[in-house]
Each structure stands twice: as C-alpha cells, then as structure tokens.
Amino acid sequence: MKTVLVTGSAGFIGYYLCTRLLQDGFRVIGLDAMTDYYDVRLKERRQQMLLQHEHFKAVNDRVEAPELLMSLFRSETPDFVIHLAAQAGVRYSIENPRSYLESNIVGTFELLEAARAFPPEHMLLASTSSAYGANTQMPYTETDKADHQMSFYAATKKATESMAHSYAHLFGLPVTMFRFFTVYGPWGRPDMALFKFTKAILEGRPIDVYNYGDMKRDFTYVEDLVNGIRLLMDAVPVRPEEAVPEGDSLSPVAPWRVVNIGNSTSVQLTEFIEAIEAATGRKAERNLMPMQAGDVPATWANADLLQRLTGYRPGTTVQEGVAKFVAWYREYYQV
C-alpha cells in the first residue's frame, strides 16, 4: 500500500481527492490547519468523514510550521505528495497579503525542503488559472508566458511554480504543477460565487454581479478536477534527453511540468446564474457592480496537454454541476 501526503486535506478539493485516493487503495496522510478563513464546521465535517476510513490519518497543523513537514516526511516517507494547502481567494489577498506569503510561499518552501531530504516518487502542486494574469489570448495554454499576475494571490502561486522548478532542476525531484480553473461542486467554499449566489437566492436577497455580468469563467466540476489529478499522478515528468515535444510544458532542464485542468469551455456569468435559477426554481435579483480589483474578465483552459498525458478531458456541464451543488446545499442546510 503506497502512501500519499495530501496538504489541505480538509479543504473542498482536498476532501474529494482524499476520498478518491482511499477508494483507490492508497494510505493517506492528511495535513490541514483548519483555519477560520471560512466556516470551520465545513472542514471539521469533511475531516470526520475521512476519518471513518481506516487508512486515513489526520494531522492538524500549518504547512509553514518550521520542521513540521520535515518530521512528517521522515516518519511517513510518502510515495506521492499532493500539495493543495494554500491561502486562497483573489479578493482576500488585497486585505491580508501576509497570510498568502506565509501559507503559500513559506509553506511551499518547507514542503520542498522536506522533499529534498526524503524524495517522493512524484510531487503534484496546485497552482491556479490566475497565474495567466493579464494574458488575453484564449484558451490559456501551458506554454504561454505568464508574467503579469493581477493579484498577490496569483503572484504567490506563480512564485511556487518557479520555486518548485528550481528544486526539480537542482535535486531531480519530479514535479507536476496543475493550474485549475474555477472549481465548484458540493461541499464547496462559502466564499465562492456559487455558494454565495445560491445562499442569497434561497434567502430572497440580491446577488452582487461584478463587471455588470460581463465575466466568463471555465467552471470545472470538482470530481473532474480530482480525476485529472489522480491520472496525473502516474504521468511522472522526466528530464528530457532531447527536445521537448511541441505543446508540452515540460522543462528543458528539469523533471517539471505545468498542466491545465479545466473544462475547456468559457461560460458567461449570466449563464451560470441562470443554471442556479433553474436548480433553485427561483429568479435572482441582480445587483450589477463594477469589476473588482485583482480580478480578470475571463478564463478558458486549453486541456489538450492533460488529455495527451492521461487520455482524459473534464466534461461535466455547468447545468449538471450546479444542480448537484444546489441539491447538496438544500440537504446540508435543510432549506
């Protein structure tokens, strides 16, 4: 039985990923700080469900805590590492940038140092579509330059990509960075649009629609994302002996690659809201607002590389995914 260390295990994506890994026969060590960025009761419930499995072990602490990860790597010797723990959210990074520095930059440094001392077979680190920043050519492709991040959150995630590349080059650590695109689904984060819109609509309150509704996102259903991560575990990058194949983001000097995981469809925000209206059976009262600082008007993933590496491409429609979230929300909150 191989061991996987998952950081951010009680988070939205972490919960689904740990569940999938346990189903697939892995032993899972889940590290999570259980911070109060959003309702901790959601994290506690997710962790409780994971703890019902005999092969799941929970460690509640911060990734940036000195020597914590080194100790975990020493005692558990993980075969795979999937690093999801991060301070998330574009808008909150304007209010509290230090939390992003500590969790995202320092936390990733601690992880890389531990992996340097106790190398796993493969490390997969979460990045974000926000790394593409001011790029306007769509769909976003991994080989595009991504130098103009629009928020401090995005800047920290892009920095972790560069940090991981340096360790991959210097110490031969196989690293896959995955950039995910607007992940949603049941057990999602309360600070995300789907959760906020559903809550407001069911409570009869108006929803804030930014950029006057002229926004597009590549909405990716959480189980599709997790399927992509699981398949990428077996697509271990190796330092190329010859030229890097066209369209591959593999580094020419390191076993390091970045891969988009997205639905390959850019959906208008108004269509997303209409899907919520259909699922709730209620019309939304829309409060049209200007664009928020740090935000981008559109995202759209080119998922060709993911498909080339794994044979898989996400495909859950917004209508399907939103309906599943609304059904979960009604049951969980008894509304």
Q: Which residues are catalytic?
A: 153
Cα dihedral across residues 95, 258, 13, 77: positive or negative: negative
Residues 235, 306: Cα–Cα separation, whole Å: 10
Neighbouring C-beta atoms of residue 37, cutoff 10 Å: 18
CA proximity to 87, closest of 110, 65, 66, 63:
63
Under a CB-based contact definition with an 8 Å cutoff, are residues 29 and 57 in contact? yes
Rounded Cα distance, 181 and 140, in Å: 11
Taking a C-beta distance cutoff of 8 angstroms, is the pair 120, 74 a contact? no
> For the residues of 44-62, what is the DSSP string, one character each?
HHHHHHHHTSTTEEEEES-
Q: Residue 228 is encoded by which pair of tokens?
A: 């992509």
Residues 6+ apart with CB under 8 A from 44: 10, 34
* Closest among 150, 3, 147 to 77, alpha carbons compared: 3
Burial of 100 (0-12, 13-18, 19+ CB in 10 A): buried
For tokens 């069911």, name the residue: 202
Tell me which DSSP letter residue 140 carries. Answer: B
Q: Smallest Cα–Cα separation from 270: which of 212, 323, 320?
A: 212
